[in-house]
Amino acid sequence: MSPWFTQELAEFVAAVSVAGSEAAAARASVERAAEALDADVAAIVRGGEVVAAVGYPQGRVPVAELARVHTGAGVARLVVPGVGECLAAAATLEYPTGAVLLVARPDALTREESGQLRAMARVASTTMRLWSVLADERAAREELQRLAREQAALRQVATLVARGERPAGVLAAVAEEVGRLFAAETTSLVRFDADGAETWVGSWDATGLPMRADRRRPATDVPITVEGRLWGALRVANPPRTAAATRADERLAGFAELVATAIANAETRAELTASRARIVATADETRRRIERDLHDGAQQRLVTFGLRLQALRATVPAELGELATELDVLAAELVNALDELREFARGIHPALLNESGLGPALRTLIRRCPIPVRSDVRVSGRLREPVEVAAYYVVSEALANAAKHANATSVAVDVETTEERLRLSVRDDGVGGADVAGGSGLVGLKDRVEAIGGRIVVESRRGAGTSVRAELPLADGTTGVD
């Protein structure tokens, strides 16, 4: 292997590894291949699709002609504008499946150059696959962040209703939350009156100015049905039609359904409990689904790709030190991405809670706490799922508050079951001063606990630490489920 071969391949690796995306890696691959092999044309072709190409004027790439060039086809000839007839050579890519990296120039490649083309194809394939996996991971993270924003908006509405806010205040908050969430120009809630007229009962404008009739825009109306009757509509003006707004209509419909529930809850306190229970159940099911999708999808792909990357690293000869270093860097980035994804999945919904129940899940949670915890967890067997989930998140939020905000040096966790209830308490020796009404995670705990008929008490005097006590009914007293 000549020094020239080694240098060119190292430069190829350096160029494609910093591309930033699968498409950019493909583009960098053909550019570097053309430069290294002094080719007039270079392209990555998959079936009848040109993934990337250089050497042709924009919009004049002969797709069908390039698609006929493949490995094992003998000498292929291409007519290149401004150059004339050229000899083409190709190397197979493992990814994308069925793709080849080809180059064309007036004279044929030497044996050493053909070997270099195959080496470049292997690097291009590996790097493009890596960027594809990382793009999937980023997409999953963005989806999680979007879901978190939606859940936060829904939680805000539910919290206002739970505090006894007047319906007008709740509807104004809904209009603002939806407007910001969907980046709309204006959002309004209208009530359909018996005489056919419409009454604005809540509105929001991106400019911050009061909405006026002469500033109305073309809008999407999502019907709001309350207890079987058409109550009104959630009206969203000009939401952006971009990739980030995929399924916007479906998401708006789901939000309108929950808005309708909030309106009904404002009319009767009994319906409030049922609504909060549905919101909690929907959020938990979404968490479980996303956690499963991440575990079975992106995480497994990252693990599999890591093994393939290790295998590829093991085949690199000693004289390709720079290539080995670049592959090591890629492997380290992959490990970091996998670790971040696992942390995201663990925070969404604890798989151990579904698999083993509340006792093992709490013990694992306590072991992970960065400050000393004295625990007495006396829970045997399985409890109702809403009880296990609520108890887990009460302990999780209390421990997180103690570790991150309370400057605590120790925590005590006690959990026990009686014939009818589960009782738990979490006490820390921190600075205290936690405000349940201040919009912290403790608000969500109160909603979650009360949604299943339980109660929670938080005591947090400044300088006296924080105590969180909760009682949860073991039997279902809210939904009629045994």
The 10s digit of each residue's pLDDT in 84-111 is: 888 988 898 999 888 999 999 999 888 8
138-142 mean pLDDT:
83
Residue 421 CA to residue 418 CA, distance in Å, equals: 5
Contact 29, 45 (CB under 8 A): no
Higher pLDDT pick, 472 / 446: 472
Q: How confident is the model at residue 145 (pLDDT cuts 50, 70, 90)?
A: confident
3-state secondary structure of 39: coil
Tokens 């006590």, residue located? 469
Q: What are phi and psi of 100, to 5 degrees?
A: -135, 150
Q: How confident is the model at residue 274 (pLDDT cuts 50, 70, 90)?
A: very low
Q: How confident is the model at residue 451 (pLDDT cuts 50, 70, 90)?
A: confident
pLDDT at 278: 56
- Percent of the chain residues topping a pLDDT of 90: 10
Evaluate if residue 225 carries a pLDDT over 90.
Answer: no
CA dihedral (162, 146, 344, 360) in degrees, to 10, reads 30
pLDDT at 271: 45
3-state secondary structure of 316: coil
pLDDT at 66: 84
Q: How confident is the model at residue 470 (pLDDT cuts 50, 70, 90)?
A: very high
Q: Report the side by side order of strands in the sheet with 49-54.
A: 49-54, 41-46, 99-105, 84-92, 76-80
Rounded to 5°, the CA angle 54-55-57 comes to 100
- Residue 86 in tokens: 């050229």
pLDDT at 428: 92
Q: Which residues partner with 120 through β-bridges?
A: none
Evaluate if residue 288 carries a pLDDT over 70.
Answer: no
pLDDT at 453: 81
Maximum average pLDDT range among 33-47, 171-185, 208-222, 254-268: 33-47
Query: Which residues contact residue 121 at a Cβ distance below 8 angstroms, ignoring those fewer than 6 apart?
Result: 91, 92, 93, 100, 101
pLDDT at 384: 86
Sign of torsion over alpha carbons 442, 446, 452, 453:
positive
Supply the mean pLDDT for the chain.
Answer: 78
Candidates 408, 368, 398; CA nearest to 467 is 398
Burial class of 372 by CB neighbour count within 10 A (0 to 12, 13 to 18, 19+): exposed
Query: Which residues contact residue 62 at a Cβ distance below 8 angstroms, ignoring those fewer than 6 apart?
Result: 56, 78
Contact 235, 224 (CB under 8 A): no
- Percent of the chain residues topping a pLDDT of 70: 75
- Residue 415 in tokens: 């959990």
Give the pLDDT confidence of 153-190 residue by residue, as tens digits.
777 777 776 666 666 777 778 888 888 888 888 888 88
CATH architecture of residue range(s) 351-473:
2-Layer Sandwich (3.30)
Higher pLDDT pick, 245 / 117: 117
Is pTM beyond 0.75? Reply is no
Query: Which residues contact residue 350 at a Cβ distance below 8 angstroms, ignoring those fewer than 6 apart?
Result: 361, 364, 365, 392
Which CATH number applies to 3-128?
Answer: 3.30.450.40
pLDDT at 195: 86
Higher pLDDT pick, 377 / 339: 377
pLDDT at 351: 65
Evaluate if residue 308 carries a pLDDT over 60.
Answer: yes
Q: Which helix (H) or strand (E) holds 337?
A: helix 321-348
DSSP 298: I
Maximum average pLDDT range among 130-139, 148-157, 471-480: 130-139
pLDDT at 7: 79
From residue 38, alpha-carbon distances to 108, 112, 256, 323 in Å are: 11, 14, 61, 21
pLDDT at 4: 63
Maximum average pLDDT range among 238-252, 280-294, 343-357: 343-357
Q: How confident is the model at residue 243 (pLDDT cuts 50, 70, 90)?
A: very low
228-245 mean pLDDT:
70
Give the pLDDT confidence of 346-398 residue by residue, as tens digits.
555 566 777 788 888 889 888 888 899 999 999 888 888 888 888 988 898 88
pLDDT at 478: 42
- How many beta carbons lie within 10 A of that of residue 377, not counting itself? 17
Residue 258 CA to residue 278 CA, distance in Å, equals: 9
Domains 3-128 and 351-473 share a fold: no
User: Domain spanning 129-349: which superfamily?
Assistant: GAF domain (3.30.450.40)
pLDDT at 157: 72
User: Where along the chain do its domains lie?
Assistant: 3-128, 129-349, 351-473
Query: Which residues contact residue 89 at a Cβ distance below 8 angstroms, ignoring those fewer than 6 apart?
Result: 76, 102, 103, 104, 108, 109, 114, 117
252-256 mean pLDDT:
72
pLDDT at 149: 79
